[in-house]
Amino acid sequence: MKAHTKETQATMTPQKSLNYLKEGNQRFQNNLKANRNLLEQVNDTSDGQFPFATVLSCIDSRVSAELVFDQGLGDIFSVRIAGNFVNEDILGSMEFASKLAGTKLIVVLGHTSCGAIKGACDDAKLGNLTNMLAKITPAVNAVNEPTDKSLRNSKNIEFVDNVSKKNVILTLDKIRAQSPILKEMEDNNEINIVGGMYDINTGEVTFYE
């Protein structure tokens, strides 16, 4: 499989880009990698890059977007931060990726049993981590069940995973609310902005479209 060129990037639509990621995740689950020469892709992309998607994911070592979607060099922009939330700098990176570099899809990818989500559920305090986890607190508060405070913590994995999903949804809302550029591109069908959840037990990504 060759690296994307300006010509192949131009043929990508938002839906086709999403299908590429879905197909790649299916290959990953089946342990069937696409045939690609990474060193050849190094050479092919030395004069420029033409990725088709931008993926915001967690720093978790088990959730590398390139691996779980079976993509090669030059295929996707990968933005990683614990808890996969957005701030001004990440929004700026997404605007560059979509408006200037031509990606057709933005994916916010959460995952099950997320350590950052667990920390937010437990209201953990530790140096700079305190302020970072505070950005996930709205997702914790937005999950109504269970009401019993003794069950609203990291020991309740069902609660943790529900907060992870809510965090993805709130992040999608924030992208649209705080980036008029990306919102306009989505409204004009130039890009899609979707969420997804990676299951660390199966390797499967479930998309929220």
Predicted confidence (pLDDT) per residue in 50-70, tens digit: 899 999 999 999 999 999 999
Query: How large is the average pLDDT for residues 101-119?
Result: 97
Q: Which residue has the tokens 């192949």?
A: 8
- Please tell me the pTM assigned to this model: 0.94
Tell me if 160 sits within 8 A of 154, measured CB to CB. Answer: yes
- 80 lies in a domain? yes
Instruction: Single out the residue of 24, 80, 12 nearest to residue 52, CA to CA.
Output: 12
Q: Give the residue numbers of the binding site.
A: 58, 60, 111, 114
- Residue 4 CA to residue 52 CA, distance in Å, equals 8
pLDDT at position 209 over 80: no
- Residue 26 CA to residue 149 CA, distance in Å, equals 38
- 140 lies in a domain? yes
- 92 lies in a domain? yes
The helix/strand/coil state of 26 is helix
pLDDT at position 146 over 90: yes
**Beta strands in the chain, from DSSP E residues, in sequence order:** 53-57, 76-80, 105-111, 192-198, 205-208
Looking at the 3D structure of the chain, how many domains does it have?
1
CATH value at residue 197:
3.40.1050.10
Q: Give the residue numbers of the binding site for Zn(2+).
A: 58, 60, 111, 114
Tell me if 196 sits within 8 A of 109, measured CB to CB. Answer: yes
- 1 lies in a domain? no
- 180 lies in a domain? yes
Work out the pLDDT band at 192, boundaries 50, 70, 90: very high
- 106 lies in a domain? yes
